[in-house]
Structure 1
Amino acid sequence: MKALDVLNNHRTYRNFDEEYQLSDEELQQILQASCQAPSWMNGQMYSIIVVKDKKIRKQLVELNPGNPHMLKSSVFLVFVADLKRTQKVAEHYQVDYPINQGIDPLITAITDTALALENAVVATEALGLGSVIVGSIRKDIAEVSKLLNLPDYVFPVAGLSIGKPIVEMRVKPRLPKEVVIHYDTYQDYDYQLIEDYDETMETFAEARETKLWSKKFADYFGRTPNQKIDEFLKINKFFQD
């Protein structure tokens, strides 16, 4: 498929043919495309855990039962921000590694990881397959990290279920361009545009959505953020106590 067609027709799939087996060639094509993503200074500050083991995937679902596709998809990838590699480099050159004194190194690594993840999504769709990103693996981040044997300086960002879809999905409407696209400087906009989008999404009527788009995020960000993330980042040497 042409790149623009793939990008403009992106859909998230959560229901996969459990009998379909992703070929090794397809998997390697996806991984290669992922590894060719842009990265800061060519640092490539991420790693990809290819989870084929059904026992591990079953345990992931037990931790996160709302995402059974982690077991039922053909393969499950976990994208992790990886500052362990650069820590090894620092040790080799016998220099300090004070990344816990600021947030920028973590932002850099998470950005690299997100770019690699998006390349994997695009490659998957170019092969005629489907995927769903699983950010909720961070809900039980310490348990997931232990299950995948992740060392310190490594942070699980998101998972990716890949497989052959069995339920067709529609292309989901996006926010009005006036809300998202700004030229030269950030421009404020009328809140009516968000209310218009609420109406658009109500009309779209995705079955899994039970709230207005705006109310969903008002409720989400109205809660205290997941404190397990903060604890994990301190324990794994990303931040000082």
Structure 2
Amino acid sequence: MTDTLNLLQNHRTYRQFDESYELSPEELQNILNSARQAPSWMNGQLYSIIVVKDPSIREKLVALSPRNPHIRKSSVFLVFLADLKRTQKVAVQHQADYHVGDSVDPLLVATADCALALENAVVATSALGLGSVVVGGIRNEIDAVAELLHLPDYVFPVAGLSIGKPAVDMEVKPRLPEKAVVHFDTYQDYDYSLIEDYDITMKKFGEKRETKDWTQKFLDVYSAEPTGKIDAFLKKQGLLK
């Protein structure tokens, strides 16, 4: 139990991998088995995983997400999908109505199922002495990624996962103060100084790839006008009306 807790509490993200390292079939299978054993709503398992080994496909993914060259340089790249196509097949088979898209709830459930499977894969990767990085950037050019991976309707790419042998050691990144994240019994407001303190903490941590304060980074993200690209994709896939 102590080993498991240490693994979870010392998680770190790796973006640089030994390109000569080949993931064994046993290692990959252990990661996939662990991902598939994740909890899911009603045992629905509303996700799928694409194992991307083909170098040409991975090169194209890097071209679509140029800030993530590790997609090509890692040992394997997994794409985790929220998948409501499987249950649509059930509805077709039984000639039943299928109201996915009438509410956002099915998409939220499938995304949660997908995220749980993804986290299991991350933990399994660490347990094998390997490293990984979650790649949300695959959603930036979501239509092109969907076409490249031949995604059918009712399927949405949530995130990718680069896996390999780390080439550079990384420090454990500080997290937000507990009082800003953990609440007991009810949601409780907290002083904004906790967020300001985290800016200072991250500045001292000095991660080279972070060029902005934590607060500024998310100010920039959420003050910008939405492009509508994701919404349009979800509607096209039948996941949102």
3-state SS, counterpart of residue 141 of structure 2: helix
- Displacement, 1:69? 0.2
Per-residue CA deviations over 1:143-198 (Å, capped at 9, x if unaligned) read: 00110011000000000000000110000000000000000000000000111111
3-state SS, counterpart of residue 49 of structure 2: strand
Cα distance in 1 for partners of 2:19, 2:171 equals 22
Cα distance in 2 for partners of 1:222, 1:149 equals 33
**What pairs with 1:1-241 in structure 2 (closer than 5 Å)?**
2-240=3-241
- Displacement, 1:108? 0.3
TM-score with structure 1 setting the length:
0.98
Aligned residues: 240
Cα distance in 1 for partners of 2:64, 2:84 equals 25
Cα distance in 2 for partners of 1:78, 1:115 equals 14
Confirm or deny: 8 A CA contact 1:139 1:226 kept in the other structure.
Answer: no
- Displacement, 1:2? 2.1
TM-score with structure 2 setting the length:
0.98
Q: Which runs of 5+ in 1 are unaligned?
A: none
3-state SS, counterpart of residue 157 of structure 2: strand
Confirm or deny: 8 A CA contact 1:129 1:165 kept in the other structure.
Answer: yes
Cα distance in 1 for partners of 2:62, 2:227 equals 19
3-state SS, counterpart of residue 163 of structure 2: strand
Cα distance in 1 for partners of 2:220, 2:229 equals 19
Cα distance in 2 for partners of 1:92, 1:214 equals 49
3-state SS, counterpart of residue 175 of structure 1: coil
Amino acid at match of 2:207: E
Cα distance in 1 for partners of 2:57, 2:221 equals 29
Spell out structure 1 runs of 4+ moving beyond 2 A.
none
- Displacement, 1:226? 3.8
Cα distance in 1 for partners of 2:222, 2:97 equals 37
Cα distance in 2 for partners of 1:44, 1:224 equals 34
Q: Which runs of 5+ in 2 are unaligned?
A: none
Residue range with higher mean Cα deviation, 171-180 or 227-236: 227-236
3-state SS, counterpart of residue 99 of structure 1: coil
